[in-house]
Amino acid sequence: MGDRRAAQRTSGARLVAGAPVRAGVLAVLLAVILMGLLAACDATAGPATATPAASSAAPGEVDAPTAAPSAAAPQTPAPSTAAGADAAGGLLVRTESQAVTAWSAATGEEKRLLATIAQTPQAAWVGDWVDAGVARDQVARLTSAAADSGTTAVLVVYAIPGRDCGLHSAGGVAADAYAAWVEAVAGGIVGHPVVVLEPDALAQLGDCDGQGDRVALLAAAARTLDEAGARVYLDAGHSGWLPVGEAVARIRAVGTAHLAGFALNTSNYQTTADERAYGEQVAAQLDGLGFVVDTSRNGNGSNGEWCNARGRALGEAPRLVDDGTALDALLWVKSPGESDGTCNGGPAAGQWWQEIALELARNAS
């Protein structure tokens, strides 16, 4: 508008200068006209740059982009922010997982069903399928995201020697390398994540060769992770596996000084009610040690099978718990949709199985 106003003033001066006799009258008329034009310009002209409109997104949501994203570019849920932490039970929602990839590629009803998995907080498993340096970096990214967003990350450390007694999830690092592997992983910890330590390791204690001094290995791992800031929950099987007294004895053998508690029902289907009752009995004999329960696939309870059981359902939403009991959290430790192994028609352990993911979500609807 500044240039337009200057042009108007120059034009007016030329008109006045060119009038020989009635210059006074014309000057007055031109002045009146110019004042009117300038007033009109001021009323209609906007500021040089537009002020963006205030965001309409609710706290914790992501504003819609100005331009629609390409249809080929999958949209992933953002990590929980501090404002959205309550909606996620205080837990970090991961943005990279097999569930997120499947949800991003799906359409229609399948996309809706898979969203119930992809957009729910669940644990990230850290194991010997990557080297220790990569594992450390993965842990650093996840725990940093949680610290930045005011949420809690959930990790599973899964590399014990003689893992799964050679069954579907066989593997683990060598006994003489395990302590160093755990130290490397612990080096990536930021803040205070929940760490479920070695699913099945305590319940399978002595069941097969190749375990090394498993009690000592677990004790050292708990100490290393605890000293790095983690809240360590030693996996202790579930209510249908070890009697209460045996679970207590094995946890005591490892030691409780570096444990926040113990974990129950990892990758299994026992009901939350059964696990809570069992957990309270174990905790009562361990000076009130806390416990967490995996509810990822226990919505329909157990049918007696443990490997890719059919007819099951997603369980109760994960969340941190502070209700005066020994229960510290309900968690999705096992990622729903990831296979337990080549059983009941499933692919190799850990691989994505869309069929069972949809079944779990549909049965919970």
Active site residues: 164, 200, 340
Q: How far apart are the two ends of the chain, measured CA to CA in Å?
A: 60
Give which of 238, 322, 321, 316 is closest to 281, Cα–Cα.
Answer: 238
* Burial label, 303 (beta-carbon count in 10 A; 0-12, 13-18, 19+): exposed
Q: Which is nearest to 329 in space by CA: 270, 260, 281, 278?
A: 260
Decide: residue 288, CB within 10 A, 0-12 exposed, 13-18 middle, 19+ buried.
exposed
Question: Considering only CA atoms, which of 138, 132, 219 is closest in space to residue 183?
Answer: 132
Q: How many CB atoms lie under 10 A from the CB of residue 17?
A: 8
Look at the block and give the residue holding tokens 């030329």.
14
Q: With b meaning 16 or more CB within 10 Å and e meaning fewer, what string describes 138-154?
A: bbeebbebbbebebbbb
Please give the single-letter amino acid code of residue 363.
N
Q: DSSP for 194-255?
A: EEEE-TTTTTTTTSSS---SHHHHHHHHHHHHHHTT-EEEEE---TTTS-HHHHHHHHHHH-
DSSP H/E element including 361: helix 354-364
* CA–CA separation, 332 and 330 (whole Å): 7
Distance CA 90, CA 245 (A): 33
Task: Quote the CA–CA distance of 257 and 248 in Å, as a whole number.
Answer: 14
Q: What is the Rg, in whole angstroms, of the alpha carbon atoms belonging to the chain?
A: 31
Length of the chain measured in residues: 365
Report the run of H or E that residue 15 belongs to, with start and end: helix 2-17
